[in-house]
Structure 1
Amino acid sequence: MPAATTSFHVDDLLVQIYNSETEMAQDVAEIAQKYLYNLLQAQDTIALLLATGNSQLKFLDALIALGEIDWSRITLFHLDEYLGINADHPASFRRYLRERVEKRVFPQQFHYIQGDALEPVAECDRYTKLLKAQPIDLCLLGVGENGHLAFNDPAVADFEDAASVKLVKLDQINRQQQVKTGYFSNLETVPQYAFTVTIPMICAAKKIICLAPETRKAKIVKEMLHGCITTNCPASILRKQPQASLFLDVNSAS
């Protein structure tokens, strides 16, 4: 089992650093698997809130490969989706999670945000009710290059948000990051608006695992851990969450 080379707290947030993204993904997968396995010994069903993006790929593969989790007793949700994109679009987070998770583990349910819903405000209400029907036992996160959690960019992030799910306009840094994923040919093809689970809903999860590998995340990780806790860097709110852990590789910790 790979182990973190460095472990420390910043305020309430546990931070662990690994020699490589592969070692990080494997160790975090084992942490998550043990947590889910033990939780399923204590309760009939559990709920997970999933992230997407490159930071999750190796972790999800490692978690699924470990086995010993009864996914038929797990309900899955996800953090965000582009407005106006259908479920088969290459950039759709529904497609990402359907192919990388649902088709491989067959959960009890997977509640998806319908990005192409005809009534987007009603879709926010529908998804809010689903999220609030049970506690979220585990939330998985990545950190955007602008410090966003889900699609809570600095301009729209609200640590006291009354909403659980909302529609937001994506900032240019975020949209440019989406181009880098390779699913959009240029900035103009990236949707300007998206659905997102809000910061308070994320922080309500019983356990939070945040993965932020790669050199391109180093600058925002420094701001997240050493700057002020502010919506200028939404991810900084994790420093107030004792149930949260941040996992880095040597590149993002540089």
Structure 2
Amino acid sequence: MLSATKFFRVDDLTVQIYNSETEMAQDAAEIAQKYLQDILTSRDSATILLATGNSQLKFLDALIKLGGVDWSRVTMFHLDEYLGIAADHAASFRRYLQERVEKRVQPKQFHYIEGDALQPLAECDRYTNLLKAQPIDLCCLGIGENGHIAFNDPSVANFQDSYSVKLVKLDAANRQQQVNTGYFPHLENVPQYAFTLTIPMICSAKKIICLAPEKRKAQVVKQMLQESINIKCPASILRQQPQATLFLDVNSATAAFLESELTS
């Protein structure tokens, strides 16, 4: 197992920094693998929430290549989906996870949010009932450039949300990020609304692995770790989650920590 170059806590949140995104992803994958193995040793099944986006690519690939997990005993959910997008759309999170995870590991079941459901509010209820049927063992997260986790943008984030799944309007920064990272050709192509698991639902997971590599995440990582815990940076709530670990590479950590601190 690789070791972080720096390891510390910010409030209740564990933070680990690595020399590269590849090392970060590999170590996070090994930690997730061991955790799932331990669960499946003591129980018949495990349940995980998966994120999408570029921050997850190397991690998911490393986790699958490690092997050693009986995926036929693992039930999977995902964190969010665009409203009105079909499962075969190039930017669909269902397609992302079907191609990168489900087809490769064949889990016990993968419950998807149906982004093109004819009754979106009923879809929220359906997915809520599925989520509440069992505890969530592991949640794998990313952080948006505006500080969102899942699609909980600052404008709609609620740390005491009474819902488990809800419909939200995406803010301009979030929609632009989807263009910048190549998932849509133009801003007008990005849906304005989406389904998202809420922050309390995410924080109910017994273990949270949050990956935030790359220079473009540096400023939001700094805000998350150094400013107050509030909905202006929804990811800051992870500082109140002792079951959570934030994985950074040196590029995403540079704004929050001096270079001398990173190597000390």
Fold shared per TM-score above 0.5: yes
The residue matched to 1:81 in structure 2 has which SS? Answer: strand
Aligned partner letter, 1:109: Q
Q: Residue 105 of structure 2 corresponds to which residue in structure 1?
A: 105
- Supply the distance in 2 between the matched residues of 1:17 and 1:56 (Cα, whole angstroms): 16
Counterparts of 1:129-140 in structure 2, within 5 Å, are 129-140=129-140
**How many angstroms apart in 1 are the aligned matches of 2:192 and 2:227?**
28
**Long gaps (5+) in structure 1:** none
- The 5 Å alignment of 1:184-199 reads 184-199=184-199
- Alignment of 1:156 onto 2:135: no
Match of residue 214 from structure 1:
214
After TM superposition, give the deviation of residue 183 of structure 1 in Å.
Answer: 2.2
Q: Distance in 1 between matches of 2:4 and 2:88?
A: 38
Q: Letter of the 2:183 partner, please give it.
A: Y
Between 1:174-183 and 1:50-59, the stretch displaced more is 174-183
- RMSD of aligned alpha carbons: 0.4
Report the counterpart of residue 200 of structure 1 in structure 2.
200
Matching residue's letter, 1:70? D
What amino acid does structure 1 have at the position aligned with 2:106? F
Q: How many Å apart are 1:108 and its aligned residue?
A: 0.3
- Name the CA distance, whole Å, in 2 between partners of 1:238 and 1:44: 29
Which residue pairs with 1:40 in the alignment? 40
Structure 1 segments of 4+ aligned residues over 6 angstroms from their partners: none
1:48 alignment partner, SS class:
strand
**How far off its partner does 1:181 sit?**
2.3
Counterparts of 1:1-150 in structure 2, within 5 Å, are: 1-150=1-150
Give the superposition deviation at 1:87.
Answer: 0.2
Q: Secondary structure at the match of 1:60?
A: helix
Distance in 2 between residues matched to 1:240 and 1:149, nearest whole Å: 14
Structure 2: gaps of 5 or more residues = 255-264
Query: Paired residues, what number?
Result: 254
Q: Give the deviation of 1:3 after TM superposition.
A: 1.2
How much does 1:218 deviate? 0.2
Q: TM-score, normalised by structure 1?
A: 0.99
Percent same amino acid among aligned pairs? 76
- C-alpha displacement of 1:239: 0.2
Is 1:238–2:250 an aligned residue pair? no
Which amino acid in structure 1 is aligned with residue 36 of structure 2? L
Alpha-carbon distance in structure 2 between the residues aligned to 1:106 and 1:187: 34
Q: Deviations over 1:46-74 (max 9, x none)?
A: 10000000000000000000001000000
TM-score, normalization: structure 2? Answer: 0.96
